[in-house]
Amino acid sequence: MSDHLPGLPTAEWPYLQILVRLALSLALGLLIGLERERRGKEAGLRTFGFICLLGALGGSLGTAFSLLVLALVGLLVVFLNLQTLRAGEGTELTTSAAMLVTGMAGVLCGQGHTISPAAVMVIATALLAWKERLAGFSMGLTEGELRSALLLAILAIVIYPALPRGAVDPWHLVEPRAAWVTVILIAAIGFVNYVLWKLYGDRGTELSGFLGGLVNSNFTVIELSSRVQQAPQAFVQPAYRGILLATSAMLLRNASLLLIFAPLVLLGSLPTFALMLFTSTALVLWSHRRGQAPRPASPATLKLELPFSLPQALKYGVVFLVLHVLGGLTQRQFGNLGFYAVSVLGGLMSSASAVAAAATLASQGSLSPSVAATGAVLASFTSLVFSLTFVLRTRHAPLIRGLATAMLCVALAGVAGLLVADAVQPWLTQWAAQLERSTAAPSP
């Protein structure tokens, strides 16, 4: 008698490939199942592991089996909720949604995806694990903050598609869509940082200073300086560290903008930003190790502006557009020195807008990456020095001397970084040219 039935198709999966897919699905299912198990849910570690494995098998078998698996997971969700209702515990809506997401992620793993299902499952696990913190944040959300989030969504989803594409002026300097993307990106970064500040900003003056600096470094310095005037003896050292961390956050935010808009510009200015951040961090750690001044009884309570508002959006847009146009025109008329002057001026108004303008000009080919990098560094320098003027209002000589010395050290580190960047610039230019030739070469 034959061992195989005639007419039935057979298929063999590549052993290593299917093993990797199943292992990834199992790991992701156990990740979210571990969180559910810790909370004492009926569907825990093993259930979510099985669901993700089942989804991977369905995804590997094809579309029909994938739909069958999702239907089975939906049926399992129905049985789970019926059981909890009979026990008088109510419905398990969050766990049910997590099971459906897990099944879909398993299907993606079975189809050969790796990054997307992993990202989805990490996000889903974070949403489950941060239940209390997210609930507390939503309950403490003010009406103004909610309007701020809705306005950001409207500007990004409604207004952006209606803007014209490309340049609208004969000099090819004004591109409404590019300018609006920059506005939305800067505002979104500020909004996310505002959320982080609201979640974790009450952990201490130093952490408040850093997270506040990501939102708005100048307002953070003003708030910390005002606290020094209220309690000068107990708050000097924490304010010193908080202001340094606020300026460090400003540098980190500007470097992130360069990474998003023009990575080659960041590559040219990376030694400068790295040395400035290292120096600022070292000064903060050194202040911690000294520990001479008593700590304040309570951390600073910063009062920052709303994360996003229409006047703030218009301010970012106008500043960016003015700096973008002036930077391009002055560079054409007066060379690099004209652009550097505009960058310094932009640092006084908004270093984020000035850095974004420099990166955008470089990405459009109006500036070389090295010139744009120097302009971004100059804007950051100007913002750093400008923040020191707010400390002068405290009239506290030890704090002023300490921060002036610290800012000078950070600035000298930035100058050293500029020299290093200038020394490696020929190598970077050669590497960029090789990369451009390799990407432009036709594939065989």
Instruction: Let me know whether 172 and 281 are in one domain.
Output: yes
- Is 281 within a domain? yes
Residue finishing a domain among 129, 153, 169 = 129
Confidence band for 431, pLDDT divided at 50, 70 and 90: low
Residue finishing a domain among 83, 101, 129 = 129
Checking if the pLDDT of 178 tops 80, the result is no
Share the mean pLDDT of the chain.
79
Checking if the pLDDT of 311 tops 80, the result is no
Checking if the pLDDT of 198 tops 60, the result is yes
Structure tokens at 159: 């207004």
Look at 407 and 145; give whichever has higher pLDDT.
407
Structure letter (DSSP) for residue 55: H
How far from each other are the two terminal CA atoms of the chain, in whole angstroms?
53
Domain that holds residue 174: 143-433
- Is 308 within a domain? yes
Residue finishing a domain among 70, 97, 129 = 129
Rounded to 10 deg, the angle between the 176-200 and 131-139 helix axes is 110
Instruction: Let me know whether 125 and 240 are in one domain.
Output: no
- Is 6 within a domain? no
- Say if CB 39 and CB 130 are below 8 A apart: no
Instruction: Let me know whether 77 and 200 are in one domain.
Output: no
Instruction: Let me know whether 171 and 125 are in one domain.
Output: no
What confidence score (pLDDT) does residue 297 get?
Answer: 46
Tell me the per-residue pLDDT of 351-374, one tens digit each, with 9 for 90 and over: 888 888 888 888 877 788 888 888
Look at 164 and 81; give whichever has higher pLDDT.
81
- Is 264 within a domain? yes
Confidence band for 293, pLDDT divided at 50, 70 and 90: very low
Structure tokens at 336: 């690099």
Find the mean pLDDT for residues 222-230.
71
Checking if the pLDDT of 227 tops 90, the result is no
What are the Cα distances from residue 210, in Å, to 3, 294, 416? 70, 21, 24
Checking if the pLDDT of 285 tops 70, the result is yes
Checking if the pLDDT of 1 tops 50, the result is no
Instruction: Let me know whether 110 and 193 are in one domain.
Output: no
- Is 440 within a domain? no
Task: Give the separation between CA 181 and CA 136, rounded to whole angstroms.
Answer: 31
Instruction: Let me know whether 393 and 264 are in one domain.
Output: yes
Checking if the pLDDT of 444 tops 50, the result is no
What confidence score (pLDDT) does residue 230 get?
Answer: 61
- Is 134 within a domain? no
Q: How many domains is the chain built from?
A: 2
Instruction: Let me know whether 153 and 81 are in one domain.
Output: no
- Is 3 within a domain? no
Instruction: Let me know whether 64 and 181 are in one domain.
Output: no
- Is 290 within a domain? yes
Residue (of 282, 231, 275, 273) closest to 406 by Cα position: 282
Confidence band for 312, pLDDT divided at 50, 70 and 90: low
Instruction: Let me know whether 57 and 206 are in one domain.
Output: no
Instruction: Let me know whether 410 and 311 are in one domain.
Output: yes
Look at 133 and 294; give whichever has higher pLDDT.
133
Task: Give the separation between CA 337 and CA 352, rounded to whole angstroms.
Answer: 20
Residue (of 195, 108, 111, 99) closest to 145 by Cα position: 195
Backbone angles phi, psi at 368, to 5 degrees: -75, 155
Checking if the pLDDT of 106 tops 50, the result is yes
Confidence band for 29, pLDDT divided at 50, 70 and 90: very high
What confidence score (pLDDT) does residue 137 get?
Answer: 63
Checking if the pLDDT of 52 tops 90, the result is yes
What is the amino acid identity at position 182?
Answer: T
Task: Give the separation between CA 121 and CA 274, rounded to whole angstroms.
Answer: 33
Instruction: Let me know whether 358 and 391 are in one domain.
Output: yes
Instruction: Let me know whether 215 and 333 are in one domain.
Output: yes
